[in-house]
Homo-oligomer: A and B are copies of this chain.
């Protein structure tokens, strides 16, 4: 099946070994289309150890498959990167949206973050925008 090949190619292109756990995690992200925390993975992929999932997320973060999404809850959440991201260069300019009803966080890939200026002397590395409210399904 070509879908399986697609998943494998994502790993290959990021120089990661192909393992069941990694394939399942990527598949889950692609299926959900929302930001996920380690807890989300643990409850859905019970066949894998907490630590394995933790290290899977870490390796995906390092290799540019996932990016961390800031939130106020104090729980690390992750979103899928664009194809254009690599370990040394993340290129994210989209808005993150958190729904206060269903609790899901999603990457609005079509919505780019407006330019900002900072006070004199500040150097900008990256800009993150998190909007909360009600998503299209919950509004």
A72 to B127, CA, bound (A): 12
**Judging by beta carbons under 8 Å apart, are B126 and A131 in contact?**
yes
**Judging by beta carbons under 8 Å apart, are B118 and A131 in contact?**
yes
How many monomers of this protein are in the complex?
2
Q: How far is the CB of A58 from chain B (nearest CB, A)?
A: 13
Pick from A17-25, A41-49, A106-114 the stretch touching chain B.
A106-114
Q: How far is the CB of A110 from chain B (nearest CB, A)?
A: 7
Known: A70-B72, A72-B68, A121-B139. A116 touches B129 (CB 8 A): yes
Interface positions of A (Cβ within 8 A of B): 68-76, 95, 97, 100, 108, 110-111, 113-136, 139
Could you name 15 residue pairs across A and B whose Cβ atoms are closer than 8 Å?
Answer: A70-B70, A70-B71, A72-B76, A73-B76, A95-B116, A114-B116, A116-B131, A120-B136, A121-B139, A122-B133, A122-B139, A123-B134, A123-B139, A125-B131, A125-B133
Interface pairs A-B: 8 shortest CB-CB: A121-B136, A125-B133, A74-B76, A68-B72, A114-B114, A70-B70, A123-B134, A124-B133
